[in-house]
Amino acid sequence: MASGTLLSVGSEGVFQKQLRAQLNKKKYLLLEVKNQGEIKELLSENIDVVLIDTIQLGYNGISILDDIRWDYSFLPVICLVAAKNMNLSLAAMRHGAYDEIQLPCSWNNLFKTIDLAVKHKRKFARDKKKSLWKRIEDYIVAGNIADAGATELAKKWLQEQKNKSEK
């Protein structure tokens, strides 16, 4: 079972081969596209994180980031940026990137960021599934418990419901 599914946009050559090998070791599934036209075909609820290589794509990568954020605002996008290109780094963050990684970097730093982004996406998906009505029911039950004089029990019960929804 994969730890997550990543969509890589724009990366190629030696870095892409090394990235694929490292992701395979971590049990990630890597889907690859070279241009903007192929992205829409692969974007779905099953993608956990998008990696955009702005070193290869330049400001076209920022345009791709904008398109993804417009249609899939919940989807974390990590931009890979050359260490000396602060303008692209700042543009990525201003345009809503989940994070940016300056290359070269260690694989550990890259995977920490990817792991956090996957957790972020999955938490969003879980929260989205919990209906508004269920949350209202939780607060009604807690309110009734508190109204009966057991305020601490009501707080504890709400916390337990929150913990259940995070699992």
Q: What is the pLDDT of residues 74-124, one digit of tens each?
A: 889 999 998 888 888 899 899 989 999 888 888 889 999 999 999 888 887
- In angstroms, the CA 24 to CA 164 distance is 31
Please tell me the pTM assigned to this model.
0.71
Q: Residue 165: is its pLDDT beyond 70? A: no
Residue pLDDT, tens place only, 151-162: 888 888 888 887
| pLDDT band at residue 128 under the 50/70/90 scheme | low
- Give yes or no for a cis peptide into 104 (omega within 30° of 0): yes
Under CATH, which architecture does the 4-129 domain have?
A: 3-Layer(aba) Sandwich (3.40)
Cβ(44)–Cβ(6) below 8 Å: no
Domain regions of the chain by residue span: 4-129, 132-166
Bridge-based pairing state of the strands 49-53 and 28-33:
unpaired
Q: Give the total residue count for the chain.
A: 167
| pLDDT band at residue 129 under the 50/70/90 scheme | low
- In angstroms, the CA 154 to CA 127 distance is 21
The separation between the first and the last C-alpha atoms of the chain, rounded to the nearest angstrom, is 18
- In angstroms, the CA 56 to CA 128 distance is 34
Tokens of 103: 């290359």
